[in-house]
């Protein structure tokens, strides 16, 4: 790993600085949004016959207002990095001076929009402990200023990236990466008034009816494979835009991840402030031996759902990161004396999945009666779905467990896919004991541990064991409430 640490005396600057003049571009957009009410109101009045004569003055005034707001915002926003921390000054009439000590900086996010890439400029946001909003948001920051704000740590371009194939495969088996794909398809459908897809579907169905191939299993299979190929190409484009190259830097103080070519994004969290870790391996990833590693660090309430995710990692990579956080490796977790859920819990799951299989059977009958799908196609899909549900339940019951080791909770859930959650109990901020009607009859409790950015749920524990876990957390976090919160769910 290249040396990316710059001596502290070289990264401190007592001089006040402002961002590049090119920051006026996004600031103009921000000013338009800020004064959108005035712009819409003036435009409405200009169409009135009583105020048309004043339209040139109104247009001139709006232009001066937007330009003046953007220029003053840029001119009177100053920052510097000193031994005390990061300081920010902004405002003309109402001035604000903010000092953020380095020890309080919890998260630093760096983005490089496409319009800033040729200029080598960035946007930076900083969040501190206990805040409900971003203290700092600077746009048009130069590379040198970015190094100052990062405390001398920068991600070198020579740092190796995760291989492209592994990152692209991660888009296939990570559900959260499908959300941009769904958003793009939804936007295309809305822009085309929903007519294009309906028209193509109607034409295709008419051709199949005329040729007598509507019920052809081979043709429907070929159409399905064509759709999958198209989705794969779209995900390939998403990988190039948002995810590749993926470069990860870790030192004694912090973790930093940079992803994307067109929409470049950089995230940084302190290594000591990682609250919990999740290792995810969906069923498709198990075939390739790949994992996704999620660092749950502190974030404020506005961006609590954002996560620090490493894609396409190997087992060796995962073990290295876990050990760096002074945690057990995956193989060591599986060798622990793991405790398992009671059989009654899985019997209930079997009943639920049996009901789902019956509903799927009814749906396939309806689709076959309406000639939407062929009988052979529907029967095959139903068989695969039922087998999938049963196999996943069997694997879940066969491979699962949890254990508390050295004040750390390790949870392993198997199945066709599997994941591990690792939670230091000192990070727990809330404990909930949930009990439904079924659980109350079986003397079971569901235990949910919550942190500022993530939860770990133990699905079904005996009452006494749940109480013991609660008391253990209470010993480590005495500021929590002294009695467990038992919530009955009906």
Name the strand (E) or helix (H) holding 16. Answer: strand 13-17
Check whether residue 79 and residue 168 sit in a common domain: no
Averaged pLDDT, 170-179: 76
Residue 301 has pLDDT above 80, yes or no: no
Quote the pLDDT of residue 183: 64
* DSSP state for residue 282 in the 8-state scheme: -
Check whether residue 106 and residue 239 sit in a common domain: no
> Which pair of tokens denotes residue 57?
């003055």
283 is a domain residue: no
Q: Against a cut of 0.75, is the pTM above it?
A: no
> Which pair of tokens denotes residue 405?
């080791």
103 is a domain residue: yes
Residue 97 has pLDDT above 70, yes or no: yes
Residue 193 has pLDDT above 70, yes or no: no
Check whether residue 145 and residue 12 sit in a common domain: yes
Q: Which of 224, 243, 262 is the last residue of a domain?
A: 243
Q: Which of 216, 243, 270 is the last residue of a domain?
A: 243
- Tell me the average pLDDT of the chain: 77
The secondary structure of 458-480 as a DSSP string is: EEEEEHHHHHHHHHHHHHH-TTS
Question: With pLDDT > 90 as the criterion, what percentage of the chain qualifies?
Answer: 3
Quote the pLDDT of residue 190: 59
369 is a domain residue: no
Task: Report how many domains make up the chain.
Answer: 2
Check whether residue 176 and residue 80 sit in a common domain: no
CATH of the domain at 99: 2.30.29
The better pLDDT of the pair 409, 108 is held by 409
Averaged pLDDT, 325-351: 88
Using CA atoms, how far apart are residues 343 and 393, in angstroms rounded to an integer?
12
Residue 192 has pLDDT above 50, yes or no: yes
Residues 259 and 243 sit within 8 Å (Cβ to Cβ): yes
Candidate ranges 243-257, 288-302, 345-359; pick with highest mean pLDDT: 345-359
Quote the pLDDT of residue 218: 63
Quote the pLDDT of residue 232: 77
Residue 487 has pLDDT above 60, yes or no: no
215 is a domain residue: yes
Check whether residue 125 and residue 169 sit in a common domain: no
Name the strand (E) or helix (H) holding 347. Answer: helix 343-369
19 is a domain residue: yes
Q: Which range of residues forms the domain containing residue 39?
A: 8-149
Check whether residue 132 and residue 178 sit in a common domain: no
250 is a domain residue: no
Using CA atoms, how far apart are residues 86 and 106, in angstroms rounded to an integer?
13
Check whether residue 145 and residue 239 sit in a common domain: no
Judged by average pLDDT, the poorest of 220-229, 245-254, 363-372 is: 220-229
Averaged pLDDT, 436-444: 85
Structure confidence by residue, pLDDT tens digits, 5-56: 434 344 445 678 888 888 888 888 888 888 887 777 777 776 666 666 777 7
CA dist 165 to 103, 114, 169, 172, 237, Å? 38, 24, 6, 11, 13
Dihedral sign of CA atoms 93, 145, 86, 325 in order: positive
399 is a domain residue: no
Check whether residue 16 and residue 144 sit in a common domain: yes
Check whether residue 90 and residue 22 sit in a common domain: yes
Termini Cα distance of the chain: 54
Judged by average pLDDT, the poorest of 106-115, 233-242, 290-299 is: 106-115
Q: Which of 209, 243, 277 is the last residue of a domain?
A: 243
Quote the pLDDT of residue 422: 92
Residues 74 and 101 sit within 8 Å (Cβ to Cβ): no
Check whether residue 68 and residue 181 sit in a common domain: no
Question: Three-state SS for 408?
Answer: strand
Quote the pLDDT of residue 411: 92
Task: Tell me how long the chain is.
Answer: 490
Residue 400 has pLDDT above 80, yes or no: yes
Check whether residue 202 and residue 145 sit in a common domain: no
305 is a domain residue: no
Check whether residue 24 and residue 126 sit in a common domain: yes
Residue 67 has pLDDT above 50, yes or no: yes
The better pLDDT of the pair 177, 432 is held by 432
Structure confidence by residue, pLDDT tens digits, 358-381: 888 888 888 777 766 667 777 888
Quote the pLDDT of residue 279: 92
């Amino acid at each position: 790993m290249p040396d990316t640490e710059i001596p502290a005396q070289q990264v401190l600057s007592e001089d006040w600085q402002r961002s590049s003049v090119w920051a006026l571009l996004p600031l103009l957009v921000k000013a338009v949004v800020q004064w959108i009410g005035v712009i819409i109101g003036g435009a409405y009045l200009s169409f009135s016959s009583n105020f048309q004569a004043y339209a040139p003055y109104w247009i001139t005034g709006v232009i001066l207002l937007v330009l003046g707001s953007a220029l003053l915002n840029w001119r009177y926003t100053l920052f510097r990095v000193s031994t005390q921390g990061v300081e920010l000054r902004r405002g003309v009439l109402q001035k604000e001076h903010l000092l953020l000590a380095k020890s309080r900086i919890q998260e630093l996010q760096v983005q490089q929009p496409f319009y800033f890439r040729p200029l080598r400029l960035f946007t930076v946001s900083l969040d501190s402990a206990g805040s409900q909003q971003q203290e700092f948001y600077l746009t048009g920051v130069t590379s040198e200023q970015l190094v100052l704000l990062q405390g001398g740590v920068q991600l070198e371009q020579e740092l190796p990236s995760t291989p492209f194939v592994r990152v692209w495969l991660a888009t296939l088996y990570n559900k959260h990466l499908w959300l941009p794909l769904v958003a793009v398809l939804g936007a295309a459908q809305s822009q085309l008034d929903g007519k294009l897809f309906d028209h193509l579907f109607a034409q295709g169905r008419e051709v199949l009816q005329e040729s007598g191939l509507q019920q052809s299993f081979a043709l429907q299979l070929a159409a399905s494979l064509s759709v999958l190929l198209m989705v794969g190409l779209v995900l390939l484009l998403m990988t190039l835009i948002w995810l590749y190259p993926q470069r990860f830097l870790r030192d004694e103080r912090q973790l930093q991840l940079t992803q994307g070519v067109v929409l470049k994004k950089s995230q940084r969290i302190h290594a000591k402030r990682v609250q919990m870790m999740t290792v995810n391996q969906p069923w498709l990833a198990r075939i390739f031996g790949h994992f996704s590693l999620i660092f749950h660090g502190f974030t404020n309430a506005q961006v609590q759902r954002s996560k620090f995710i490493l894609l396409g990692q190997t087992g060796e990579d995962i073990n290295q990161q876990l050990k760096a956080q002074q945690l057990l490796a995956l193989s060591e977790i599986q060798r622990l004396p793991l405790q398992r859920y009671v059989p009654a819990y899985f019997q209930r799951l079997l009943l639920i999945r049996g009901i789902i299989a019956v509903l799927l059977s009814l749906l396939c009958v309806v689709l076959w009666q309406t000639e939407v799908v062929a009988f052979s196609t529907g029967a095959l899909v139903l068989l695969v779905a039922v087998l999938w549900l049963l196999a996943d339940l069997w694997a879940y019951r066969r491979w699962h467990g949890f254990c508390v080791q050295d004040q750390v909770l390790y949870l392993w859930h198997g199945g066709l896919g599997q994941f591990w959650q690792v939670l230091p109990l000192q990070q727990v901020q809330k404990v909930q004991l949930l009990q439904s009607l079924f659980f109350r009859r079986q003397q079971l409790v569901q235990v949910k541990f919550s942190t500022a950015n993530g939860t770990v749920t133990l699905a079904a524990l005996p009452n006494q064991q749940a109480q013991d876990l609660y008391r253990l957390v209470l010993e480590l976090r005495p500021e929590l409430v002294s009695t467990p919160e038992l919530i009955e769910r009906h």
